[in-house]
């Protein structure tokens, strides 16, 4: 029971800190007049990806035991799995419920195809890197995936879309001000980062204890628990933005988080670990790619982002849970 309480408390702290961080980076986007595309796909995506990145850095860079490395790799593999399956499914279900007669998202087909294709290629390259024993080759692959994210950033910052007409929710640190001072935004940003670092270390030690208590490998615990907590901001953003009809922000945030996780988190893992994956990790990778390719092919054929294939992505996550149960029965 104490271990379960510690895991839950660490997750709650991660979600609260992530919310504060996302709120701050959204205000940075608003104050610097970034486009809606850049806010959703870049600024909000980086903010909502913070917990996973911090867990990865602490587990792989600062803690060197085998259990911590398994937790870090679980976060690296689990985030794209969660985003490409459950969060895609959430996007599709919300669109189907809200727009039953026309379940098409108001999202550029070109932007969707670019993001999905780049993610698929980058993630496939990251998984392929696990088959090499050459550290030098992995460094070269790290540079390639970093360049892929650079290309993603350049694409969205250069898109000629209108600025977002919606102001972010009021700054958590200054709720009574319609437009907070810039210093308050950066103070909230720094505080959220500090809390996330502390909560991430607590989460890692708690998950290690939980894995020992229930007799499951740390990777299995991490690949499920870490993304569930860390991707809550994406889930909330999807619900809020799609209710307002801001599909560009909602789906762009999810795709942006997928690219950020796959490039930055995977590069860290390839640099600081032998990057050798087990069957559970490869199964997660295959199902992640399967979900992404399903939506990619549907969008390419229909020339629009349809809610139905997105909703079907939830079956890929169910398949992974069934796989884990079957292999450990």
244-281 pLDDT per residue, tens: 777 887 888 888 889 988 888 889 888 888 888 889 89
Given the structure tokens 């629009």, which residue do they identify? 304
Residues in CB range of 56: below 8 A, 6 or more apart:
72, 75, 76, 265, 268, 269
Predicted structure pTM score? 0.78
The answer to whether 102 and 245 have CB atoms below 8 angstroms apart is no
List, for the chain, all residue ranges whose pLDDT scores fall below the cut of 50: 162, 164-165
As a whole number of angstroms, the distance between CA 283 and CA 30 comes to 40
Give the CA-trace dihedral at 323, 145, 238, 110, to 10 degrees.
-110
Rounded CA-CA distance 165/120 in Å is: 31
Show the domain range for 63.
2-327
Q: What is the pLDDT of residue 190?
A: 84
Provide the domain count of the chain: 1
Q: What whole-number distance in Å separates Cα of residue 38 and Cα of residue 158?
A: 9
pLDDT, position 214 = 65
Q: Which are the contacts of 260, defined by CB distance < 8 A and separation ≥ 6? A: 45, 46, 49, 53, 149
The CATH code of the domain that includes 164 is 1.20.1420.30
Beta-carbon count within 10 A of 6 CB? 17
- d(CA 26, CA 21) in angstroms, rounded, equals 9
Rounded Cα–Cα distance for residues 130 and 139 (Å): 12
Rg (CA), the chain: 19
């Amino acid at each position: 029971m104490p271990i379960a309480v510690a895991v839950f408390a660490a997750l709650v702290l991660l979600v609260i800190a992530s919310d504060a961080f996302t709120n701050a980076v959204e205000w940075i986007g608003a104050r610097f007049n970034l486009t809606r595309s850049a806010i959703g796909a870049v600024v909000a995506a980086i903010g909502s990806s913070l917990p996973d990145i911090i867990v990865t850095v602490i587990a792989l860079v600062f803690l060197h035991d085998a259990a911590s490395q398994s937790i870090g790799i679980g976060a690296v593999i689990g985030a794209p799995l969660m985003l490409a399956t459950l969060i895609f499914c959430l996007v599709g279900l919300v669109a189907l419920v809200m727009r039953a007669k026309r379940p098409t998202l108001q999202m550029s087909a070109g932007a969707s195809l670019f993001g999905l294709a780049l993610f698929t290629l980058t993630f496939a390259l990251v998984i392929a890197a696990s088959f090499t024993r050459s550290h030098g080759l992995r460094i070269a692959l790290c540079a390639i995936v970093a360049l892929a994210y650079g290309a993603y950033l350049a694409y969205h910052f250069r898109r000629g879309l209108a600025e977002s007409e919606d102001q972010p929710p009021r700054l958590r640190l200054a709720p009574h001000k319609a437009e907070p001072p810039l210093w308050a935004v950066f103070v909230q940003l720094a505080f959220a980062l500090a809390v996330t670092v502390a909560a991430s270390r607590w989460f890692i030690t708690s998950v290690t204890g939980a894995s020992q208590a229930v007799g499951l490998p740390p990777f299995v615990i991490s690949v499920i628990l870490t993304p569930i907590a860390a991707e809550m901001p994406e889930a909330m953003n999807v619900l809020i933005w799609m209710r307002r009809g801001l599909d560009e922000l909602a789906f762009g945030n999810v795709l942006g988080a997928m690219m950020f996780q796959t490039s930055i988190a995977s590069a860290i893992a390839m640099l600081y670990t032998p990057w050798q994956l087990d069957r559970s990790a490869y199964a997660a990778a295959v199902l992640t790619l399967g979900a992404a390719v399903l939506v990619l092919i549907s969008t390419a054929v229909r020339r629009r982002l349809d809610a139905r294939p997105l909703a079907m992505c939830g079956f890929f996550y169910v398949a992974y849970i069934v796989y884990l149960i079957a292999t450990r029965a």
